[in-house]
């Protein structure tokens, strides 16, 4: 399974001039959604006990969708 380093990702995005929406700690100057602009629309994994493949979907909230 691939690792996930949110701090490292935030730093790298800020360094190239693309901070995460609403993340003032890493140079975001606006907060139009009123929260950190991260959203996982799809999560898939295999249950560790049953072995069943699970999938969860969550549409983009309107507060973020309206930004695009």
Confidence band, pLDDT 50/70/90 cuts, at residue 56:
very high
Q: Higher-confidence residue: 60 or 2? A: 60
d(CA 42, CA 21): 20
> Residue 35: its pLDDT value, please?
64
Q: Higher-confidence residue: 32 or 59? A: 59
Which residue's structure tokens are 């100057």?
Answer: 29
pTM here is 0.49
DSSP 23: -
d(CA 67, CA 49): 40
CB 14 within 8 A of CB 26: yes
Q: Higher-confidence residue: 51 or 59? A: 51
H or E stretch covering 13: helix 6-15
């Amino acid at each position: 399974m691939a690792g996930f380093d949110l701090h490292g990702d935030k730093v790298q995005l800020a360094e190239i001039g693309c901070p995460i929406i609403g993340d003032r700690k890493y140079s975001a100057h606006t907060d139009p959604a009123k929260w950190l602009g991260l959203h996982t629309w799809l999560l898939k994994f295999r249950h560790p006990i049953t072995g069943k493949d699970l999938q969860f979907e969550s549409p983009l909230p309107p507060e973020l969708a309206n930004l695009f």
